[in-house]
């Protein structure tokens, strides 16, 4: 079954062709980073316009790379939410029009379910290629951690509707998503956009113990997250100090260079700034790992999936690898290309829904806050 996946929930216009939920024939992502870079964050109206401009060429390129025509496709899977409503609508309306004009089945996919499926997709692909990797089996605890989400799910096979899975939400961020905190701290220190990958690359040059951001204590559900405290602590540490004047110097320098490398950025950071950045990353990563392991303990599961853009983070991967060795958990990550927003994960998740007989009708629409699973 050849499924065309379409994803446009935030600032990436993406299309992919995936065979039988496992074989990626094409996975095209048009990033809008250059559009949003100068604002230090995604501007929703600009994102919608970019999606409108790019959706058709991106789908065309996916079909070209997969060496298929639209008529060869068996079905279309599209992100229906959560995300920016204008952005979602572009992909959704396009997918609906394609499906109904070609008389192909259509299925709506929750973006978070897509991220979860990126782990299964990667694992199945590796195993199909003969890589000696362990099978990513359910039940599992999943951490979806990105610029828009920081959520822990419990995922099991649902015997009633197999092969569609059952999700329940174990914890969720009460304020910023972890990736958003990375991006905001990077904006504050004028390091560049998006902040996550830059902070990831700078942090090994700083001392992660230099600044103690403390531990986040959650009242109520201990599996919830909160990153606003760390972000505010950072703001107070920087505002009106030498960190702020150094950031202003970087702002002036950034106006003179178009696309500085990570090495260029590092060369414009003092050791104290590198220490601050490394300590910030360390605090966020420790918190993510601690709560995810607590969730796995609470569920008595030994399998953990980590997905979403922040899953690219080197320290996060390292800490989970250590925990898996010391505490006997099996932790699965997608490759970086499947961790950030992409449409292969949407096609892969859609495949299971289509197999289970799910079909979307003309009433399918976008939902900015579409939930996944039971709270």
Rg value, the chain, Cα: 21
Indicate the residue among 75 and 346 with the shorter CB distance to Zn ion: 346
12 counts as binding Zn ion under rule CB under 5 A: no
105 binds, options Zn ion, ligand KG4, none, Cβ within 5 to 8 A by partner type: none
Angstrom distances, CA of residue 106 to CA of 67, 97, 325: 21, 10, 42
The 273-312 site mask, x for binding ligand KG4 (CB under 6 A), equals -----------------------------------xxx-x
Q: Pick from 313, 343, 350, 370: which binds ligand KG4 (CB under 6 A)?
A: 313
Nearest to 107 by CA among 151, 26, 23, 164: 164
Question: Per CB under 5 A, which region of 12-20, 124-132, 138-146, 163-171 contacts Zn ion?
Answer: 138-146
Which structure tokens are listed for 331? 């932790």
195 binds, options Zn ion, ligand KG4, none, Cβ within 5 to 8 A by partner type: ligand KG4
329 binds, options Zn ion, ligand KG4, none, Cβ within 5 to 8 A by partner type: none
313 binds, options ligand KG4, Zn ion, none, Cβ within 5 to 8 A by partner type: ligand KG4
Give the whole-angstrom CA distance, residue 233 versus residue 219.
Answer: 19
208 counts as binding ligand KG4 under rule CB under 6 A: no
CB-based burial, 49-71: b 16+ in 10 Å, e otherwise: bbbbebbeebbeebbebbebeee
**DSSP 8-state symbol, 256:** T
292 counts as binding Zn ion under rule CB under 5 A: no
Question: Per CB under 5 A, which region of 143-151, 258-266, 314-322, 331-339 contacts Zn ion?
Answer: 143-151
Phi-psi region of 219 (alpha: psi -120 to 50; beta: other; left: phi over 0): beta
82 counts as binding ligand KG4 under rule CB under 6 A: no
Which residues inside 165-184 make contact with ligand KG4, applying CB under 6 A?
179-180, 182-183
Nearest to 58 by CA among 15, 20, 110: 15
């Amino acid at each position: 079954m050849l499924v065309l996946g379409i994803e446009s929930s935030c600032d990436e216009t993406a299309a992919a062709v995936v065979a039988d939920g496992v074989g990626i024939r094409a996975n095209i992502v048009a990033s809008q980073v250059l559009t949003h870079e100068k604002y230090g964050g995604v501007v929703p109206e600009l994102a919608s316009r970019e999606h409108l401009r790019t959706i058709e060429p991106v789908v065309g390129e996916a079909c070209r790379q997969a060496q298929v025509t639209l008529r060869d496709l068996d079905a279309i899977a599209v992100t229906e939410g959560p995300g920016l409503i204008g952005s979602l609508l572009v992909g959704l309306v396009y997918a609906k029009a394609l499906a109904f004009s070609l008389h192909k089945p259509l299925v709506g996919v929750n973006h978070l379910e897509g991220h979860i499926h990126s782990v299964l997709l990667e694992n199945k692909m590796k195993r199909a290629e003969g890589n000696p990797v362990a099978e990513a089996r359910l039940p599992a605890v999943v951490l979806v951690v990105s610029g828009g989400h920081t959520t822990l799910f419990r995922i099991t096979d649902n015997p009633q509707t197999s092969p569609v899975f059952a999700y329940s939400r174990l914890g969720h961020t009460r304020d910023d998503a972890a990736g958003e905190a990375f991006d905001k701290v990077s904006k504050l220190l004028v390091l560049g956009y998006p902040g996550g990958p830059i902070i990831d690359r700078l942090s090994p040059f700083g001392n992660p113990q230099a600044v103690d951001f403390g531990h986040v204590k959650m009242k109520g559900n201990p599996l919830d997250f909160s990153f606003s405290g760390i972000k505010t602590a950072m703001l107070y540490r920087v505002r009106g100090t030498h960190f702020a004047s150094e950031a202003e110097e970087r702002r002036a320098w950034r106006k003179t260079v178009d696309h500085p490398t990570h090495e260029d950025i590092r060369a414009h950071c003092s050791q104290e700034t590198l220490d601050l950045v490394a300590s910030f990353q360390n605090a966020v990563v420790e918190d993510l790992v601690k709560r995810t392991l607590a969730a796995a303990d609470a569920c008595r599961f030994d399998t953990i999936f980590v997905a979403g853009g922040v899953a690219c983070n080197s320290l996060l991967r390292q800490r989970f690898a250590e925990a898996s060795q010391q505490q006997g958990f099996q932790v699965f990550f997608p490759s970086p290309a499947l961790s950030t927003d992409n449409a292969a994960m949407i096609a892969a998740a859609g495949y299971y829904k289509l197999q289970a007989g799910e079909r979307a009708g003309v009433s399918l629409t976008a939902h900015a806050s579409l939930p996944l699973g039971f709270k």
